[in-house]
Amino acid sequence: MRNLFLFLREHYFYFLFLLLESFSLILLFNYNEFQGSSLYAVSNSVSGSVNGMFNGISEYFSLRKTNRVLVEEMAKLHSRIPEAFYASDVNIFYKKDTIVKLEYKYISAKVISNSTNKRNNYLMINKGTLHGIENHMGVIIGNKIVGQVVSVSPHFSWIMSMLNKDSRISGKFKKNNQLVNVEWSGGNYRKGQVKEVPKHVRMVKGDTIITSGNSEIFPEGLLIGTISDFSNLQDENFNNGEIFFSTDFNSLGYVEVVVDMMRKEKDDLKASFKAH
């Protein structure tokens, strides 16, 4: 026993290193499960308030651009109000309220931290559970997709951007509804990969890829990007393509969180099937 202690004392440096190193590695590989847990929420609110403070300063530098975007958005909305339409037809058809039900609601939020240079990129926004945000909600900007919520604290949400190794978006070709998967393999933040394109689908440069609506995160028809390059693989069952993202991830100011009002119903339906 005494020898053991002597041994430990002599080589304490190596043991301390192994102890601390394994502790950090355990944290590293488990932290995906930590999301939403108390530890994560604490670190979220600490870094959130510091980032928010810094962002409050840096916001001033982009006021001109923000203004321009807001004006554009306003013009777009103005063109949609009923007064903007010329009544060319005297027969007006009313839709019954019970037929049309609100399915998606949007919460606008400000991006307070963002990155595009890591292999796994995340964003933080200044809205959280208090504003009705929950895990696995989609995040969009205009009609383009950004990512999905992976962790929420009362005032902030942590969003996995599409520029992430764990992000896989279900998309489809606008021209023929063929389903594909969109991923990002690092490097250039404007370009991603389209995986699992069936052999019989003829890709053309400039083909538009939109969300499929299959994933319950994004509504159908949001822009993901356009095909910029493709390869025909001989030995595989699928082809791959390169996609140019419509979203400029480096200039996100305000984003919108998509709330699917019928999500619970969809989940319940699936759960009830699994229960049988």
Partner 1 sequence: MTSRTVFYNIIRFFFLVFLQVLILNHINLGGYINPYFYIYFILLLPFGIPRWLLLVLAFLLGISIDIFTNTIGLNAAACLIMAFFRPLVISAISSGPESLIGDTPTLRNQGIKWFLYYTIILVLIHHFALFYLEIFRFSEFMATFFRVLLSSAFTMALVLISEYLLYPKGK
- Residues near partner 1 (CB under 8 A): 12-13, 16-17, 20-21, 23-29, 31, 34, 39-40, 43-44, 46-47, 50-51, 54, 115-120, 122, 124, 158, 165, 185-189, 250
Output 48 or 241, the one with its CB closest to partner 1: 48
Output 29 or 85, the one with its CB closest to partner 1: 29
**Helix axes of 38-58 and 12-34: crossing angle, nearest 10 degrees:** 80
Of the candidates 257, 33, 265, 260, which has an alpha carbon nearest to the alpha carbon of residue 133? 257
Least distance to partner 1, CB of residue 222, Å: 24
Least distance to partner 1, CB of residue 247, Å: 15
Least distance to partner 1, CB of residue 271, Å: 30
> What does the alpha-carbon distance between residue 45 and residue 189 come to, in Å, rounded to a whole number?
27
Least distance to partner 1, CB of residue 113, Å: 8
Q: Is residue 225 a contact partner of residue 172, using CB atoms and an 8 Å limit? A: no
Dihedral over Cα of 252, 219, 206, 225: its sign: positive
Least distance to partner 1, CB of residue 94, Å: 49
Output 187 or 221, the one with its CB closest to partner 1: 187
Residue with tokens 């590989």, as numbered in its chain? 29
Output 39 or 77, the one with its CB closest to partner 1: 39
The phi and psi torsions of 182 (rounded to 5 degrees) equal -115, 125
Cα angle: 26, vertex 136, 238; to 5 degrees:
85
